[in-house]
Chains A and B, each alone.
Chain A
Amino acid sequence: QQQVKQSPQSLIVQKGGISIINCAYENTAFDYFPWYQQFPGKGPALLIAIRPDVSEKKEGRFTISFNKSAKQFSLHIMDSQPGDSATYFCAATLDRGSTLGRLYFGRGTQLTVWP
C-alpha cells in the first residue's frame, strides 16, 4: 500500500515557468514532510521540508504548500531552470516521538525544464 501518493509522474516546463508537484498522504500521524531532489546516478538530496503546524515554507525559488485538512502538500519551483531538471520525491515520516524513523516516499516526478 502506497502511503504517499505523488503526481504527476513526469513534468515538462519551459525555462522561467512554475513547476508544481503534488503529494497526498493517508496517515495523520505523519509529522515531517521533506522533499528530495535526485540527479541521475546520484543519491537523493534534501531540498526543503515542512511540519504540519505551518501552511507554507519558502526557501529561495522552492516553496512547500501544506494543507493539513486535505492531507496534501505540494512543491512549487518558481522561475524553473534547466539545472532543476531532476527527479523529485516527496516523503513523510512519523512523529519525532516515535522510534520508527523510516521515510515513506512517493514514486517520484521526473522534471524536465526546457531552455
Chain B
Amino acid sequence: NAGVMQNPRHLVRRRGQEARLRCSPMKGHSHVYWYRQLPEEGLKFMVYLQKENIIDESGMPKERFSAEFPKEGPSILRIQQVVRGDSAAYFCASSPYTGEKQYFGPGTRLTVT
C-alpha cells in the first residue's frame, strides 16, 4: 500500500517562473491537504480539497497560488510568478475522511533563485 506520493522532490525555479507541485494521495483517500513549512517553523495550512472541490482555502495567499484536485489524476499546487519568499518545503497530506489521521508525503522542496 503505497503512501502519499509527491513530485518533484526538489524544484528550483527562477523568480517570475511558475512552480507546479503534484500530490497523489494514498489509495482510498479522497481528502487532500497542502501545508507549507518554512525553515525553523511548523507547518502552516494552505488548502483542503476533495475530489473536484476546494473545501477550505483560507490559508492560501490570494494571489499567485492555486490548487486543484481533479476527478482523475493527482492534486496540483500551482504557484505563479514565484518570489524568493516562496522558497519552502511544501507537504501534501491525505486522509480517508475529514481531519484526523492525515498522512503526509515526503514533501517538495522549492528553491527560488
Contacts and interface: CB of A to CB of B under 8 A. Distances in A.
Interface of A: 6, 32, 34, 36, 42-46, 49, 89, 93-94, 96, 98-108
B44 interface: yes
25 contacts: A32-B99, A32-B100, A34-B100, A43-B104, A43-B105, A43-B106, A44-B43, A44-B91, A49-B100, A49-B101, A89-B43, A96-B97, A99-B98, A100-B56, A100-B99, A101-B48, A101-B55, A102-B45, A102-B99, A103-B33, A103-B35, A103-B99, A103-B102, A105-B35, A108-B41
Interface string B72-108: 0000000000000000000101010111111111110
A101 B101 contact: no
B16 interface: no
Contacts of B55: 99-101
Contacts, number: 77
CB-based closest 7 A-B pairs: A43-B104, A101-B99, A105-B42, A101-B98, A102-B45, A107-B42, A93-B99
Contacts of A36: 104
Contacts of B45: 102-104
Contacts of A93: 99-100
Nearest to A93: B99
Interface of B: 4, 6, 31, 33, 35, 41-45, 48, 55-56, 59, 91, 93, 95, 97-107
A93 B91 CA distance: 17
Nearest to A94: B99
Nearest to B45: A102
Contacts of A42: 106-107
B42 A43 contact: no
Nearest to B91: A43
Contacts of B42: 6, 89, 105-108
Given A43-B105, A100-B56, A102-B33, A107 B91 contact: no
A41 B75 CA distance: 22
A89 to B, nearest CB: 6
A101 B47 CA distance: 10
